[in-house]
């Protein structure tokens, strides 16, 4: 079935990109994956009552002979600072990765518990509307220990699999995403707006062993992994699922076999829903909106969309000629952006015809740049609008740029100016003021130019 699904994607455009310069002849890479082991007695946590599919920790380590860096992807809605600090400490202790060279990313699996980490000892509220249990809940403690164990196992696997490797970049296309802001007589609401902007590009990084067989595939998702978000089963329970963040890398890993690890990282898609969702918004005749949940049947939609985006990823991957042994470096910087008083926790999803934004002070936006030859990963905490990511990529002086969100924590939404004018959910439920996203574009433009000049002088 996988093969027929892949071959059916004849309209996909995949580009063989081979422009990554071979700077570091000593380049090595290793990848590891470990399941976050749960058990039925952990539930309920945050209203989650059962588990449909597994959650994972995935680790990629790269070493150019001088610098060692790592990317860790955890199937959680967001990764807290305390959990992230533990991840970095484990990478340093077990694999010799300096903390400043390690980045951790949440896959944004919203139907998984929000664990705050050993230091916090609690679950952090997210955007799924789920409740927060007692910090002393045995399930919470057990889930935290399961994450720690999975991190140690995946880091150990990645370190032990370090070997000479080569890197390549590919760019495919996808149509699994749709703009979620729709106009109604009451204002802009959540739904499916085919006329709204959607970036359909699908960036893929492939790391190969010297024999040409893939070791790891990194997927820059242009869509929120929320097919099952806020859906319940027919009995009112909520099953844990990694959603598309699990289904897409699972497809890639099964396609290639041989221990290949797929890394699903969320791109700039705060306004991009899957084209089919289980608990969907419906626009009624009177202009109001309501929701319809198809419950367990939604997992059929998840399987279909996971296979579709997975097949598009594989086709883009197959067009890659991984021939570079690059140098690796990580930059950490801050950008100054305007803030506003966030209405998070209030009823911000419904449409409104007017809204008064409450301005706040300028705040620091932490950003990370990871350069792998002439591929650069641009990372930041807030979820960005699709149009903003497209502009950052277009302005970049690097041949290949991937913008990744939910990096080293979560900071809710950063919408574009148009969203503030429309009073959308993303604009109202944000700590960032109008214009912050556009300042981020120019800030990254300057940082990427500096990095490109610095790397050219090596």
CA 423 to chain centre: 25
Q: Which domain holds residue 372?
A: 328-387+395-456
Q: Do 116 and 222 share a structural domain?
A: yes
Taking a C-beta distance cutoff of 8 angstroms, is the pair 153, 115 a contact?
Answer: no
- pLDDT on residue 339: 97
The answer to whether residues 235 and 380 belong to one domain is no
Predicted pLDDT of residue 345: 53
Domain end among 318, 349, 365: 318
Looking at the structure, tell me whether residues 56 and 159 fall in a common domain: yes
What is the pTM (predicted TM-score) of this model? 0.91
Q: Is 417 a member of any domain?
A: yes
Q: In whole angstroms, what is the distance from residue 104 CA to residue 260 CA?
A: 20
Q: Which residues of the chain have pLDDT under 70?
A: 1-25, 116-136, 344-348, 458
Q: Output the six-digit token pair for 36.
A: 């976050």
Question: How far apart (Å, rounded) are the C-alpha atoms in residues 282 and 205?
Answer: 37
Question: Does residue 380 belong to any structural domain of this protein?
Answer: yes
299 and 334 in a single domain? The answer is no
384, two tokens: 């960005």
Element (H, E) at 51: strand 48-51
Q: How many domains does the chain have?
A: 2
CA–CA dist 253, 184 (Å, integer): 42
The answer to whether residues 117 and 265 belong to one domain is yes
Locate 31 and state its tokens.
């990848």
Q: How confident is the model at residue 356, as a pLDDT?
A: 95
Please check whether residue 132 is in contact with residue 125, taking contact to mean a CB–CB distance below 8 angstroms: yes
Residue 323 included in any domain: no
Beta strands in 341-416 (DSSP E): 359-372, 375-380, 383-384, 400-404, 413-414
The residue count for the chain? 458
Residues 417 and 377 occupy one common structural domain: yes
Q: Are residues 353 and 308 in the same domain?
A: no
The answer on 345 and 277 residing in a single domain is no
pLDDT number for residue 135: 53
| Whether residues 169 and 200 fall in one domain | yes
Burial of 50 (0-12, 13-18, 19+ CB in 10 A): middle
Taking the C-alpha atoms of residue 101 and residue 229, their distance in angstroms, rounded to an integer, is 33
Which of 274, 297, 318 is the last residue in one of the domains?
Answer: 318
What's the pLDDT score for residue 342? 81
Distances (CA, A) of 186 to 109, 232, 354, 423, 424: 31, 28, 10, 11, 11
Residue where a domain terminates, one of 269, 294, 318:
318
Q: Are residues 196 and 335 in the same domain?
A: no
- 87 shares its domain with 50: yes
265 and 333 in a single domain? The answer is no
Q: Does residue 245 lie in a domain region? A: yes
Contact 366, 11 (CB under 8 A): no
């Amino acid at each position: 079935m996988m093969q027929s699904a892949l071959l059916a994607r004849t309209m996909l455009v995949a580009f063989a990109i081979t422009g990554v310069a071979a700077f570091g002849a000593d380049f090595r890479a290793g990848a590891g994956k470990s399941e976050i082991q749960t058990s039925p007695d952990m539930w309920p946590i945050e209203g989650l009552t059962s588990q449909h599919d597994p959650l994972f920790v995935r680790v990629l380590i790269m070493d150019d002979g001088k610098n060692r860096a790592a990317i860790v992807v955890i199937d959680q809605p967001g990764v807290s600072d305390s959990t992230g600090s533990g991840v970095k400490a484990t990478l340093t202790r077990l694999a010799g990765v300096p903390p400043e060279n390690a980045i951790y990313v949440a896959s944004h699996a919203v139907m998984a518990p929000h664990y705050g980490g050993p230091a916090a000892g609690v679950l952090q509220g997210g955007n799924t509307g789920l409740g927060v249990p007692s910090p002393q809940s045995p399930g919470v403690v057990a889930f935290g220990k399961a994450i720690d164990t999975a991190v140690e196992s995946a880091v150990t696997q990645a370190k032990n699999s370090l070997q000479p490797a080569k890197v390549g970049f590919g760019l495919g296309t996808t149509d699994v995403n749709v703009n979620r802001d729709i106009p109604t007589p009451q204002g802009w609401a959540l739904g499916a707006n085919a006329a709204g902007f959607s970036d359909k590009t699908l960036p893929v990084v492939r790391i190969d062993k010297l024999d040409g067989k893939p070791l790891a595939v990194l997927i820059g998702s242009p869509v929120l992994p929320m097919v099952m978000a806020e859906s319940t089963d027919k009995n009112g329970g909520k099953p844990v699922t990694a959603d598309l963040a699990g289904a897409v890398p699972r497809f890639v890993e099964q396609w290639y076999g041989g221990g290949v690890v797929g890394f699903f990282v969320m791109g700039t898609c705060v306004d991009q829903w899957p084209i089919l969702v289980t608990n969907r918004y419906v626009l009624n005749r009177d202009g109001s909106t309501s929701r319809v949940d198809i419950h367990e049947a939604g997992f059929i939609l998840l399987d279909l969309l996971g296979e579709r985006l997975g097949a598009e990823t594989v086709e883009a991957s197959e067009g890659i000629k991984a021939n570079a042994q690059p140098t690796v470096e990580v930059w950490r910087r801050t950008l100054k952006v305007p803030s506003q008083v966030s209405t998070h926790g209030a009823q911000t999803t419904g449409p409104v015809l007017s809204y008064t934004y409450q301005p706040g002070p300028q705040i620091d936006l932490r950003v990370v740049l990871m350069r792998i030859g002439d591929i650069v990963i641009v990372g930041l905490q807030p979820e960005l609008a699709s149009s903003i990511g497209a502009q950052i990529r277009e302005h970049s002086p690097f041949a290949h740029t991937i913008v990744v969100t939910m990096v080293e924590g979560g900071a809710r939404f950063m919408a574009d100016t148009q969203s503030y004018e429309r009073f959308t959910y993303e604009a109202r439920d944000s700590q960032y003021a109008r214009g912050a996203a556009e300042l981020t574009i120019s800030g990254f433009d300057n940082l990427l130019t500096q990095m490109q000049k610095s790397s050219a002088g090596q």
